[in-house]
Amino acid sequence: MGMCLPCLSGAEDDVVVTPDAETRRRQLAEAAEKRQKETTYRGIKNPEALERKKKKQEEMEKETVNSTPAGGGGLKVHHKQEWQVG
């Protein structure tokens, strides 16, 4: 019986090299992050502007919380005292 080398010519071009575990894990993480961003920003024309707007809103909220005086800010509560005549 002869060897079947002629029918295997070009087979080395079809071989897919599998990356090591760390490289594969990184590729999967990057792909997942990309899918997450695409899903989050679906229909939004300028996602960078949206992110800037969100950060600015958060900073303004933090400033509002920090600018309220700790001792006397907020609602004032008045208690009614009832007097008994006796």
Position with higher pLDDT, 58 vs 85: 58
Residue 36 within any structural domain of the chain = yes
Q: Rg for the chain (alpha carbons), in Å?
A: 33
Quote the CA–CA distance of 48 and 58 in Å, as a whole number: 16
Position with higher pLDDT, 38 vs 6: 38
Residue 52 within any structural domain of the chain = yes
Quote the CA–CA distance of 66 and 1 in Å, as a whole number: 87
Range of the domain at 48: 21-66
Residue 62 within any structural domain of the chain = yes
Q: Say how many domains are in the chain.
A: 1
Position with higher pLDDT, 5 vs 66: 66
pLDDT tens, residue by residue, 11-66: 666 677 788 899 999 999 999 999 998 888 788 888 889 889 999 999 999 988 88
Residue 8 within any structural domain of the chain = no
Contact 44, 50 (CB under 8 A): yes
Residue 49 within any structural domain of the chain = yes
Q: What share of the chain is helix, strand, coil (3-state, %, to 5)?
A: 55, 0, 45
Residue 10 within any structural domain of the chain = no
